Structure 1
Amino acid sequence: MIERPPILTDSLKALDWTTLCESDIAYLNKLQDDYVYWSDIKYKKTPSGIEGINLWAFLKKLRESKNIKVYHPYHLAFSLTNKMMRLCHEFDMKFGGLWGSESIIPQRNRERYLIGSIMEEAISSSQMEGASTTRKVAKDMLRKKIAPKDKSQRMIYNNYQTINYLSTHIDKPLSIELICKIHSLITDQTLDNPKDSGHFRENNYVVVGNAITGEVVHTPPDYLEIAQAMQWLVEFANTNDINYFIHPVIKAAIVHFFIAYIHPFVDGNGRTARALFHWFMLKEGYWLTEYLSISRIIYHSKASYEKAFLKVEADNNDMSYFITYHLDALNKSFEELKKYISKKTAEQKDMSRLLRIGNINQRQAEIIYMFLEDEKLVLTVKDVSSRLIVSPTTAKHDIQGLVNRGIISEISFNKQKKGYIQGPSFSSAIDKVT
């Protein structure tokens, strides 16, 4: 658990904002932008020496002045910050429209990047919930379309199928049926009771606990309140309140939080919440979301992700902690994508250099590059077909051309299955272009 903020007395709530100097106000605005929690500031001071509970009281006053109430039954609200608005503006520029369609993702590699990112999202989201399969085994399973062998692989397979399903259903409004469909896809053949898949829980035998200590960190609302809460979520996602505008990216983060908070299902709530975030972003026109793996960022900062939820509940259901974390994670995901594309672009230049070997096409250059990266690599026609996103016939033709020149060699696994390794002419072919 985390330390709860102190309860403010009437005298603390009445502290006069006008007594603050400009440097104090600037300091408070910085704390507000970072959306720091009580335990992070209780030993800090403003330039003029305001500290402890007094500093917290002024910060709470600032937050309340920007407070937007979202769901009244549970007092869920958030405080809009300058940082939130700045990041949302950047996402508008980066994730939607025509800005990035040509400049960030090369057209010829778009499909391959998309498949890779969907795999990464499916794997990371499942690993967050305990899937123990390695990334390599998981990617092989998805690329080669191998049937899942255990629950961990099934979770990843289900997530992959769900994300692909979502991208074809962004033209539909959110509905109870769609939420339950997403859950049924995500949890297929993974629940103790298969009847729970795609259905809201019908009891209160569910808590969110610390996996290490066993401590209960969140008790979801009564199951009798689920129907009303989820109907509100549907209306929230499908309409814009005329009284105030909530930016779509913030709205997507709230959808994510709300599913996790309500915990409408017996299991699979986290995966469902992240899938719905993904769907909502695509629905709102943020097409680049398909190429991001926000779950990878969350997975590698899981403690911060979980703390964001705890801070919300500890501080009067102020969702700003979670929204701030979520926007930061989304931004980091975009930065990772840029680095990944930069790396792949450099690899493409190396592959193009291999074309100087002569009488090979771009795909064959990519096959040679795979062996150049891993001298012990063994490939099959199916491997090449899935990696290059071409038909098995095309993959076989490209491979055979390299076999005929001795650049790669064919080996037999058994009477039917063949594999391919570096051939006797591989090194001499590479030497020609290096």
Structure 2
Amino acid sequence: MTYDPNIAFNVLPALPPPEEVITTEVYRQLNRATRALGELKGAGRVIPDQSVLISMIGLQEAKLSSEIENIVTTNDELYRAFADDGNADPATKEVLRYGQALWYAYDQIKMGRPLCTSLFEEIATTIKMVDIGVRKSPGTKIMNSLREIIYTPPDGEPLIRALLYDLEKFMNDDSISELDPLIKMAITHYQFEAIHPFSDGNGRTGRILNIIYLIDKGLLEIPVLYLSKYIIENKMDYYRGLKAVTEEGKWEDWIIYMLKAVESTSIITKSKIYRIEELINDTVQQVKSQSNSIYSKDLIEVIFRRPVFKIKFVEESLSVSRPTALKYLQTLVGNNVLMEFTHGKNKYYANSNFIDLLSE
């Protein structure tokens, strides 16, 4: 039957796909991606305070993943809003909620909760801050910028829930398929996006599922692999790959695309982690040499936990008085470790070198 984008795509590809789609070239790329991901997993342990990696690299992913959905904010607005505990414009608030959804999903997986439809719904609900359940109303259409229909996802709540249940089994029950988890992640991502279970937030929910699936399977320990930058830089190939699976059942190119995304992103993130470690060590030496009287391991960790913060954050994190926190901050500003600036009525402190590194 010829594919028609105007008709609900109710017969999704069966899971797992036929064995012949896993070609020699897929396995070659799988080996490269597995090696790069393993090196990233090791790199994630080099920084003792792993909240630095989880929060800051995760915040960049929140920004880029939201950008794919045309929800755009700047790094300045994002870091300031993070310092203000979410007080920001609507777009920036939605980006921050993506970060909250990622944290929530990560915590749930670490507590042993399986990947399931109710968790997917909770992730989407956190992102959109409205109660999002599986679509009940018919008529959902995916359109391009010219308002042309390019895809009609499955219709009807019972069918959508049945497809999600099949996806849950594929993700959680390794007896159903002995495929490598990285290949299963690529297949899962397509399947979730094709089901398009929610009225909004599907893309961002799907990208969170990528990372927590890899954590669930033990390929990563902390959520530091984010594919959104690669997707933005190779956006046409991303949508072309999804389309080819839907219309022609061409899994090979799609799986290779996702494995390349894992390889490329792992290499970039590993490099960034080692550079963060180097910057932290350089900062330790700078503070010790210029202001040893205020140096403490905890102080250095605090100024890397958020790239922009207020004095209250230092007070609470170090359990010190406001005068003591102010003394620390003024000393670090004087030594060019931090930069002080005012926005509106609020005073902020910025770790400029850290911001520059994160923004690359």
Query: Matches of 1:341 and 1:277 in 2, distance apart?
Result: 20
- Whether 1:217 and 2:150 are equivalent positions in the alignment is yes
Offset at 1:395? 8.6
Task: Pick one of 178, 192, 210 that aligns with 1:245.
Answer: 178
Task: Tell me which residue corresponds to 1:160.
Answer: 99
Query: Matches of 2:277 and 2:339 in 1, distance apart?
Result: 30
Structure 2 residue runs without a partner (length 5+): 4-9, 351-360
The equivalences for 1:287-306 within 5 A come to 287-288=220-221, 290-306=223-239
Aligned partners of 1:182 and 1:198 also within 8 Å: no
The equivalences for 1:11-410 within 5 A come to 73-76=11-14, 77=17, 79-93=21-35, 95=37, 103=43, 105-150=45-90, 152-170=91-109, 171-189=112-130, 197-211=131-145, 213-223=146-156, 225-241=159-175, 244-288=177-221, 290-314=223-247, 316-354=248-286, 355-359=288-292, 360-361=294-295, 380-382=310-312, 390-391=317-318, 393=320, 397=324, 399-401=326-328, 403=330, 407=334
- Give, as a single letter, the amino acid of the residue that structure 2 aligns with 1:132: V
Deviations 1:120-166 (A, max 9, x none): 1222111111212113212321243133431x223212211110011
Query: Matches of 1:420 and 1:74 in 2, distance apart?
Result: 51
Offset at 1:342? 3.4
Aligned partners of 1:122 and 1:160 also within 8 Å: yes
Offset at 1:85? 2.5
- Give, as a single letter, the amino acid of the residue that structure 1 aligns with 2:310: T
Aligned partners of 1:95 and 1:288 also within 8 Å: no
**Residue-pair matches, total:** 327
Task: Tell me which residue corresponds to 1:56.
Answer: none
Aligned partners of 1:312 and 1:319 also within 8 Å: yes
Aligned partners of 2:68 and 2:232 also within 8 Å: yes
Higher Cα Rg, which structure: 1
**TM-score when normalising by structure 2:** 0.77
Structure 1 residue runs without a partner (length 5+): 5-71, 190-196, 371-376, 422-434
Offset at 1:403? 3.8
Aligned partners of 1:297 and 1:329 also within 8 Å: yes
Aligned partners of 2:43 and 2:274 also within 8 Å: no
> Highest relative contact order (Cα 8 Å, sep 6+), 1 or 2?
2
Deviations 1:291-327 (A, max 9, x none): 122122212322221121122223x222333222111
Deviations 1:73-121 (A, max 9, x none): 434536112343344445555546xx66655542324321221111112
- The 1:110/1:198 distance shift into structure 2, 3 A limit, reads same
Aligned partners of 1:381 and 1:396 also within 8 Å: no
- The 1:89/1:398 distance shift into structure 2, 3 A limit, reads farther
Offset at 1:341? 2.2
SS in 2 for 1:217: strand
Query: Matches of 1:239 and 1:84 in 2, distance apart?
Result: 22
SS in 1 for 2:50: helix
Q: After the TM superposition, which of the residue ranges 160-169 and 103-112 deviates more from structure 2?
A: 103-112
SS in 1 for 2:105: helix
Aligned partners of 2:230 and 2:261 also within 8 Å: yes
- The 1:343/1:413 distance shift into structure 2, 3 A limit, reads closer
Query: Matches of 1:214 and 1:104 in 2, distance apart?
Result: 43
